[in-house]
């Protein structure tokens, strides 16, 4: 029982540190945040943080992985719970809403990943590409269900369409990040993306 209790305590401390790091990164950004800032926010000693994370990069990407996994799981849960004809719109809706729920963190992440040093970008690519591809394949399976049931055109290549939908959603997020209008909500993009996807931009 003592071993189980200790493991739970370790997991709780790690979770506390990740939650604190999210607050600090959202406030200061990756480059300006320090391990001392995170220690202060988490109420743990700096040395304790280094027990669980080897450096700030490790902490940042662990948090990023958790955020992305949480987003993917929430999207899947929502999509799997609706009728086939509603799955594509639900996918777009929940994915964009997931970004908006954690908007402070994702705004910092999306702004800074473009200017990150080469090694950081390489680490991001290596550790997240497999998850990204799996998510694209999941989107492709949703499109394939709609295609087989006749909700979209039969000649659509489901996997290519999945990459296109992902690109549209990512572009919407980048537009949101770069938009200076405080009244602009990412949720406003849900119907816009869905309508463009199904109806195109032609007359």
Instruction: For 134-150, write each residue's pLDDT tens digit.
Output: 889 999 999 999 999 99
Please classify residue 189 by burial: count the beta carbons closer than 10 Å to its beta carbon, then call 0-12 exposed, 13-18 middle and 19+ buried: buried
Lowest mean pLDDT among 10-19, 41-50, 174-183, 192-201: 174-183
Report pTM: 0.75
Residue 122 has pLDDT above 60, yes or no: no
What are the pLDDT digits (tens) for 152-161?
999 999 999 9
Mean pLDDT of 166-179: 82
Q: Say yes or no: domain 58-199 is CATH 1.10.357.10.
A: yes
Do 75 and 40 meet the contact criterion of CB atoms below 8 Å apart? no
Domain ranges of the chain: 1-53, 58-199
**What fold, for 1-53?**
Arc Repressor Mutant, subunit A (1.10.10)
């Amino acid at each position: 029982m003592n071993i189980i209790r200790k493991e739970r305590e370790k997991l709780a401390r790690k979770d506390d540190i990740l939650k604190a790091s999210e607050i600090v990164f959202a406030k200061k950004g990756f480059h300006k945040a320090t391990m001392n800032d995170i220690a202060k926010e988490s109420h743990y000693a700096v040395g304790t943080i280094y027990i669980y994370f080897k450096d700030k990069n490790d902490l940042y990407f662990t948090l990023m992985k958790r955020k992305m996994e949480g987003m993917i799981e929430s999207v899947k849960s929502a999509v799997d719970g609706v009728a086939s004809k509603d799955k594509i719109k639900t996918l777009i809706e929940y994915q964009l809403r997931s970004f908006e729920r954690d908007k402070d963190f994702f705004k910092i992440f999306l702004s800074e990943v473009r200017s990150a040093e080469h090694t950081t970008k390489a680490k991001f690519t290596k550790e997240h590409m497999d998850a990204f591809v799996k998510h694209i394949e999941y989107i492709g399976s949703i499109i394939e269900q709609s295609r087989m049931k006749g909700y979209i055109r039969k000649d659509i290549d489901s996997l290519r369409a999945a990459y296109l939908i992902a690109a549209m959603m990512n572009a919407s997020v980048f537009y949101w990040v770069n938009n200076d209008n405080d009244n602009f909500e990412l949720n406003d993009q849900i119907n816009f993306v869905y309508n463009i996807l199904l109806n195109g931009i032609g007359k």
